[in-house]
Amino acid sequence: MEILAASARWALRAGWALGLYSAIALPALAETIPLVEPAPDTPSLEPTLPTAAAAEIVTLTLTDLLNLTLEGNRELRNQALGCIVQRQQLAAAEQIFNPRLTPTLRVDATRSRFGNGGDVESNPGSVLLEGSDTDLDQQVRLDTTLTTRLGTRFELGLTPFEGGQLVQFGVRQPLLRGFGTAVNEAPLNQARLGETRNQLALRSTVIDTLTTAILSYNNLVSAQAQVDIQTQALERRQQQLDILQALVEAGRRAPIDLFDPERSLADAQRSLVDAQNQLDQANSTLLNLIGTDRNLRFVASVETIAELFAAAADQLATYQPDALVDLALTQRTDYQQAQLQRQQQELDLLVAQDNLRWQLDAVADGTLGDGSRSAMGLVATRTFGDPQPATDRLTSDITLQQQDNTLAQLQDQIRNDVVAGLSSARASLSQVVAAERATLNARRQLEADQEQFRLGRGNITLFQLISQEEALVTAETNELEARIDFLNSVAQLEQTVGITFERWAAELEIAPELQG
């Protein structure tokens, strides 16, 4: 709680929303010396920047950004659309054991010519001699096939408009190769595993996209706060220069004493321009992430930043290494993918073992009608001299053993990554506390030196005062970087564990096609 309170105080003190600037100046010294207007060549407070069309200011929370990303990110949408096709392919594979009906309609036209030798069939386009006749031969046939999960194949043919044999049937039942539900359902089960892997791939992309959005938002926060820090530093240095110019005008300082403050002010202006450029780039990254070309300027509020830090610190306090590792083994999409890959390879091995068997089938066929006929028998076949079935069997066996090694290695890697990520996040939080103390000490040192310089005590030179000002800016920047590093480390830890989706699911508007 002490860390959270200090964090809230820091967020409010820093003024992370644009336009909340509170300069630390030298009010007491300003009251004792009459200020004069700056000389015409005095550097201005705001650097000259190229003008652009006015952008629409949008106050953006992290939840807003995540929702906009899920809605507008085109790469994510493309993968979601691909999953629609993959689900349809699975639906087609699910119908493998459904009966198939194939109607056939055939019409033949036959022309014959009559000569001395009798009837002679004529091809289309030939010259007819003496006489000719044309016959139309029509045939309608319905064929039905059905394969059961045991491997039994039924074939039925019906010719309703012909005399004689109206029905032809055939049955083939594998007794060795191809017998049993396990081997016959293997293609269907592989298709189902493939669909599950497709859903996991989409889920992995969603997690990666959400993590990218979180890191990009943190980058916006960092760039925005850096602009604030540099703006306040510029204001302080401008006030120092104004006071020194007043001393020069009053004859209490030599003009040469203006060189260092003017250089310091120019450095501050350059740093502010650089910070503003970084803010523009962070804003552009968000626009690309959500897939829009509108002229928007995103702004993170002070309340949002403080809430993010407090929530991350609270969440980190609940994490325990062993529990996180167990959670990662159930949530990580790459580990689940590896497990599904092993199941697919088990099915491959099953099929490869089945292909080594003899092909022994019980068959029956016949016709029903005026001249009924039926026959039953056994058919045994085997190809000798073909090394491919044995090769496939060995390959499947070795591949399965390799996948077991891959799973064991992935388990070790997940455990190491989770433990390292948790340690990194905790270390980052400790660095924030240390950076806060360094900033507080730098601010107090600057205020003390300013007071001594105003009173003419302690032999504080103008150069020392400028150095302390630069030290404060460095400390504030280090504290900012420590906070952003902490937020990033927590986001990356959640990605490592695989809980980013669950972490934000309650606050997100997730389209059905993205839910898998």
pLDDT for the residue 90: 87
Range of the domain at 256: 2-35+63-69+187-353+390-514
Q: What is the pTM of this model?
A: 0.76
Q: Are residues 218 and 157 in the same domain?
A: no
Q: Are residues 239 and 322 in the same domain?
A: yes
Within a domain: 379:
no
pLDDT for the residue 117: 52
User: 54 phi and psi, to 5 degrees?
Assistant: -60, 130
Taking CA atoms, 23 is separated from 72, 102, 234, in Å, by: 40, 85, 9
Contact between residue 479 and residue 439 where contact means Cβ atoms under 8 Å apart:
yes
Within a domain: 317:
yes
Q: Higher model confidence: residue 26 or residue 233? A: 233
Helices (H), 456-514: 462-497, 500-505
Q: Are residues 140 and 117 in the same domain?
A: yes
* Category of 379 on φ-ψ map: left (φ > 0), alpha (ψ -120 to 50) or beta: beta
Closest by alpha carbon to 25, among 191, 296, 329, 232?
232
Q: Residue 513: pLDDT band by 50, 70, 90 thresholds?
A: low
Q: Are residues 109 and 148 in the same domain?
A: yes
Cα separation of 226 and 229, whole Å? 5
Within a domain: 50:
no
Mean pLDDT in residue range 24-37: 33
pLDDT tens digits, one per residue of 147-202: 999 999 999 888 877 665 688 889 999 999 999 999 999 999 999 999 999 999 99
Mean pLDDT in residue range 197-219: 92
pLDDT for the residue 421: 95
pLDDT for the residue 436: 93
pLDDT for the residue 216: 94
Mean pLDDT in residue range 333-350: 95
Q: Are residues 445 and 340 in the same domain?
A: yes
Taking CA atoms, 264 is separated from 164, 234, 462, in Å, by: 109, 9, 11
The number of domains in the chain is: 2
Mean pLDDT in residue range 73-94: 86
Contact between residue 335 and residue 329 where contact means Cβ atoms under 8 Å apart:
yes
Cα separation of 310 and 486, whole Å? 11
Instruction: State the DSSP H helix or E strand holding residue 256, giving kind and residue range, or none if neither.
Output: none
Provide, rounded to the nearest whole percent, the portion of the chain with pLDDT above 70.
Answer: 81
pLDDT tens digits, one per residue of 378-434: 999 988 888 999 999 999 999 999 999 999 999 999 999 999 999 999 999 999 999
Q: Higher model confidence: residue 33 or residue 345? A: 345
Mean pLDDT in residue range 490-507: 90
Q: Are residues 454 and 472 in the same domain?
A: yes
Q: Residue 475: pLDDT band by 50, 70, 90 thresholds?
A: very high
Tokens coding 157: 């043919």
Q: Are residues 142 and 191 in the same domain?
A: no
pLDDT for the residue 22: 31
- End residue of a domain, out of 111, 143, 178: 178
Within a domain: 16:
yes
Cα separation of 54 and 323, whole Å? 50
Within a domain: 79:
no
Q: Are residues 280 and 197 in the same domain?
A: yes
Q: Which residues of 341-353 are buried (b: 16+ CB within 10 A; e: fewer)?
A: bbbbbebbbbbbe
Mean pLDDT in residue range 493-510: 87
**Per-state percent for the chain, helix, strand, coil, to nearest 5:** 60, 15, 25
Within a domain: 76:
no
- Does residue 370 surpass a pLDDT of 90? no
Tokens coding 180: 């049993």
Instruction: Could you list the beta-strand ranges (E) of 307-405.
Output: 359-369, 373-381
Q: Are residues 286 and 200 in the same domain?
A: yes
Helices (H), 44-185: 62-72, 74-93, 181-184
Within a domain: 290:
yes
Q: Are residues 314 and 236 in the same domain?
A: yes
Q: Are residues 196 and 344 in the same domain?
A: yes
Provide, rounded to the nearest whole percent, the portion of the chain with pLDDT above 90.
Answer: 45
Q: Residue 372: pLDDT band by 50, 70, 90 thresholds?
A: confident
pLDDT tens digits, one per residue of 477-488: 899 899 999 999
- Does residue 31 surpass a pLDDT of 50? no
Mean pLDDT in residue range 461-469: 81
Contact between residue 53 and residue 295 where contact means Cβ atoms under 8 Å apart:
yes
- End residue of a domain, out of 147, 178, 209: 178
- Does residue 490 surpass a pLDDT of 80? yes
pLDDT for the residue 516: 53
Q: Enumerate residues 6+ apart whose C-beta is below 8 A from 290.
A: 65, 68, 69, 71, 72, 73
- 299: domain CATH number is 1.20.1600.10
- End residue of a domain, out of 149, 178, 207: 178
pLDDT for the residue 24: 28
Q: Enumerate residues 6+ apart whose C-beta is below 8 A from 19.
A: none
Q: Higher model confidence: residue 53 or residue 19? A: 53
Within a domain: 478:
yes
Q: Are residues 287 and 347 in the same domain?
A: yes
Taking CA atoms, 217 is separated from 154, 187, 282, 285, 485, in Å, by: 62, 45, 8, 9, 12
